[in-house]
Amino acid sequence: MVKKQIRHEYSLNLVTKLELMKKIVFFSMALLLSMTVFSQNDNTHNCFKRNAFTASQLKSNSLTVSQQIETEKYDVHFYLLDVAMTNLSTDISGTGEIHGTTREILDSVLFELFDTYLITDIRLNGVSTPYSRVGSAIKVPVNLTANQSFEIAVDYSGTPPTAATNPLGGAGMTNDNSPSWGNYVTWSLSEPFSAYEWWPCKQSLRDKADSCEVKITVPNNCKAGSNGSLEAVIDLGNGTSRYEWKHGHSIEYYLISVAVAEYIEYNVYANPTGSPSPILIQNYIYDNPATLPAFQTDIDETVDFIELFSDVFGLYPFHDEKYGHCMAPLSGGMEHQTMTTQGYFTKGLTAHELGHQWWGNNVTCASWSDIWVNEGFASYCEYIMLENLYPNETALDMESRHDYVKSNPNGSVWVLDSLNESRIFNGRLTYDKGASIIHTFRFIMDDDPSFFQALKNIQTDYADSVAIGLDFKEAFEAASGDDLTDAFQEWYFGEGFPTYSARWNVVGNDLLLEVSHTTSSSTPTFTNPIEIEFSRAGMSDTTIRFSIDANLNQFLVPNMSAVDAIDKIDPNNWIINNVGTITNDPAFTAGIEDIITSQEILVFPNPSQGSYTLETNVDNEYQYKVFDTKGKIIQSGLISQTVSTLDISENENGYYILHLSDTEGNRFVKILIKE
């Protein structure tokens, strides 16, 4: 991708349904899937949020199940925050508004706010109202019919909890100084359960607000970043200014954000294909003479990334507003909608957090069990960025991910314990295995146009909404025509990875190959295809794709007499796997007669123009598959008669392998299409 000219601007002055009945659903699914998920404390990623999170910080939404059910009785349309903050403490004061519509007749509306805040007034549709408060649950009495709109405003003030003071272990608002640059920052990070720690809200993944406004009053020496477009900066004449941000798109509760510091503003613009106008990339960088020069080149690359991802996934979802960054001293980033909070700028981190604007923000996981929708795809965005802009780095990237996944034999991408933050944001499973299995599904589909079209379709079909992992399965299947049931069972819900071994021999002009695999954990068999690279005397190396449907498969590859060795199994790192033994076995000829000819099966004429008669001397039912020389299944079905026909004439001329199986075993016949 050719780098575009970048326009620079500097500004130095002011100018879930919440998983209802979660435990019942999860335990039922666990029994259905017959699997166990192990939580691991190995979040060693230094590029992502929650990198320092510990397994002891087990936390849930602060509401009981019955209270969560109450919150699902209304639909949030709009949030308004009008708060005062500084960069020197987390103290916050102001008003939070919830605008919603009832889903049924209601006598109360329940929402959340941390229990240490002082509430001076709550208004229903502009009128002060009584309320009840138990812990973080606040209930406002109402008399509303179904489909009736309402507005609740809460005047509150106080100090947000820290991880030390919050009994649930969270910290939705933090104040700290950068150890590298010395700047003090106050910033929010609400994912997954901490929005109520700094503003009144409903924490439900399945109820995105249609829009929001965030107004932040700060000292004049500071700037305040948030979601959407900066509508105004109003000097209040008392040493403070109010930053008024407005976001006109659907947004999850945990993606609403604030960041306050002594910032300078550095802007660039992207021009992706299909955008009606240039997209502002608005960056709030520490007001430190050395900070912007240190990161400017890296920040400028955001232009290339947003143009690339717009080509791959569809136009940046919030192109009519902006994308941007607010610096804060965290070891990684948090993908706040339209304005990521980020500690530093490396291409991997920046691509990951930008990727979230599609995967996590436009399309969000419907439950924390399916966090793969957010983090697996954002992690794979790093690979896509490398593949297109730094192709020499892709092999090492995927290899390192696989190595990390294999450091423990267990664990699934799908999250069973979705109230445990350390499991939700597990680096090995959610991020690296999550990205790796997307790569595997791409390989199984074996059709990049279909794979990337499926991703675009998801961005359209689930825009401004939520999705589960199986929605991706359906999208991949619709685009490719493949059945990915086994692939998702084994790689998304299943645990572990295969170790492949190979035994081979050359018989006449043909290669006889046996591929077997064991597994590291509870998933017994992995049925994804596998590539094997062969070295051949006097020829270039040959890589062949083989379809796997069992723990041991045998193949005949015609016209492969020059094979010297098997160089690699899975040479392009499509599959998380280990390699066991590779053996050239001259004694490996057992069954070769059945592979080349079988007394029980006659296939004629052979060669033909693609139409064959199959005749057996045993009245039995056979399953059949026809493979091309790459190991791809081109046709399959059942044969239940002693005489039947097979037509593969739509395929190109060349050799194919007909595989027939019944209760007595497998039989292979080499067939040839020849005009």
Phi, psi at 146, each rounded to 5°:
-65, 145
Is the predicted pLDDT of residue 665 greater than 80, yes or no? no
Q: Lowest-pLDDT range, 204-208, 209-213, 437-441, 535-539?
A: 535-539
pLDDT score at 630? 61
Q: Are strands 465-467 and 363-365 parallel, antiparallel or unpaired?
A: parallel
Please write the tens of the pLDDT for every residue from 255-314.
Answer: 999 999 999 999 999 999 999 999 999 999 999 999 999 999 999 999 999 999 999 999
Which pLDDT band holds residue 36 (cuts at 50, 70, 90)? Answer: very low
pLDDT score at 21? 33
- Which stretch, 158-172, 288-302, 611-625, has highest mean pLDDT? 288-302
Is the predicted pLDDT of residue 367 greater than 90, yes or no? yes
Calculate mean pLDDT across residues 190-217.
97
3-state secondary structure of 652: coil
Could you tell me which residue, 23 or 482, shows the higher pLDDT? 482
Q: Lowest-pLDDT range, 21-30, 74-83, 270-279?
A: 21-30
pLDDT score at 663? 72
Is the predicted pLDDT of residue 646 greater than 50, yes or no? yes
Could you tell me which residue, 434 or 640, shows the higher pLDDT? 434
Is the predicted pLDDT of residue 452 greater than 70, yes or no? yes
Domain extent listing, the chain: 9-398, 498-584, 592-673
Domains 9-398 and 498-584 share a fold: yes
Which pLDDT band holds residue 249 (cuts at 50, 70, 90)? Answer: very high
Calculate mean pLDDT across residues 337-363.
98
Which pLDDT band holds residue 561 (cuts at 50, 70, 90)? Answer: confident
Calculate mean pLDDT across residues 588-606.
61
Q: Which amino acid is at 184?
A: Y
Which pLDDT band holds residue 414 (cuts at 50, 70, 90)? Answer: very high
Is the predicted pLDDT of residue 337 greater than 90, yes or no? yes
- Tokens coding 524: 């017994």
H-helix segments, 81-155: none
**Angle of helix 372-389 relative to helix 394-405, nearest 10 degrees?**
150
**What's the chain's average pLDDT?**
88
Is the predicted pLDDT of residue 675 greater than 80, yes or no? no
Which pLDDT band holds residue 453 (cuts at 50, 70, 90)? Answer: very high
Is the predicted pLDDT of residue 11 greater than 60, yes or no? no
- Give the 3-state DSSP-derived string for 19-38, with helices as H, strands as E and coil as C: CCCHHHHHHHHHHHHCCCCC
Could you tell me which residue, 103 or 608, shows the higher pLDDT? 103
- Tokens coding 398: 């995927």
Strand order in the sheet with 611-616: 601-604, 611-616, 643-647
pLDDT score at 168? 62
CATH of range 9-398; options 2.60.40.1730, 3.90.45.10, 1.10.150.120, 2.30.42.10: 2.60.40.1730
Q: Which amino acid is at 244?
A: E
Q: Lowest-pLDDT range, 175-179, 412-416, 484-488, 603-607?
A: 603-607
User: For residues 451 and 236, is the Cβ–Cβ distance under 8 A?
Assistant: no
Is the predicted pLDDT of residue 659 greater than 90, yes or no? no
Is the predicted pLDDT of residue 3 greater than 60, yes or no? no
Phi-psi region of 193 (alpha: psi -120 to 50; beta: other; left: phi over 0): alpha
User: For residue 121, which of 84, 156, 172, 157 has the smallest C-alpha distance?
Assistant: 156
Is the predicted pLDDT of residue 211 greater than 60, yes or no? yes
Could you tell me which residue, 52 or 638, shows the higher pLDDT? 638
Is the predicted pLDDT of residue 1 greater than 60, yes or no? no
Calculate mean pLDDT across residues 200-220.
98
What is the third-level CATH fold of 592-673?
A: Immunoglobulin-like (2.60.40)
Which pLDDT band holds residue 15 (cuts at 50, 70, 90)? Answer: very low
Whether this prediction's pTM lies above 0.75 is answered by yes
Please write the tens of the pLDDT for every residue from 128-155.
Answer: 999 999 999 999 999 999 999 999 999 9
Distance, in Å, from the CA atom of 119 to the CA atom of 138, rounded to the nearest integer, reads 11
Distances (CA, A) of 34 to 368, 394, 490, 592: 20, 35, 12, 39
Architecture of domain 498-584: Sandwich (2.60)
